[in-house]
Amino acid sequence: MNSRAIIVNVLRFVALAALQAFLLKNVVLYNLSVPYPYILFILLLPFETPNVLLFLLAFVMGITIDAFYDTPGLHAAACVLLAFVRIQFIGITVQKDGFDNEPEPTLSVMGFRWFFTYALVLTLIHHFFLFNLEVFRFSEIQYTLTRFILSSVFTVFLMLISGLLFFRKRERK
């Protein structure tokens, strides 16, 4: 990772953590849908990020959000799981030879269809684990599943909007 990528990712970490902690913490739609776009930090890390560093960064992002939400370890655990699933998903869907041409899994680099699938699958897994860990009882399974689905849709929507706003179109050669 070059110094520009490090600076971009540090700024992305700070911006997404601050956005989540100070603005989106109080955004709840009908007590069912809560956006968690801070996971975009983990999703957008470059392909060549070593797995140990990926897990460490995921844990640090999760524990940072936990500090603001007063949830001891819930977001950290969900983020570490997200990092693990990210490794598996990228290993299955991206050719190993293409890392030089495609340095990070952004909307502009990978295309809408791949990024939408990537963001949706990983968000669904993250949110399912997070909400089930938060409630941790079967008596509220319907409420938990409703929150999980609506929050996932809301989060992916915000990710796609940010991807369309902040990432430029790939230049064709």
Map out the domains of the chain as residue ranges: 3-166
Considering the chain, what is the average pLDDT of its residues? 87
Q: Cα dihedral sign for 157, 171, 90, 76? A: negative
Q: Read off the pTM.
A: 0.88
| Exposure string for 125-144, b = 16+ CB within 10 A, e = fewer | bbbbbbbbeeeeeeeeeeeb
- Residue holding tokens 């030089």? 100
Instruction: Taking residues 120-130, report their average pLDDT.
Output: 95
C-alpha distances out from residue 14 to 22, 45, 116, Å: 12, 14, 24
- Render pLDDT for 76-120 as a digit per residue (tens, 0 to 9): 999 999 999 999 999 898 876 555 555 788 887 888 899 999 999
Q: Which of 4-8, 38-42, 128-132, 149-153 has the lowest mean pLDDT?
A: 4-8
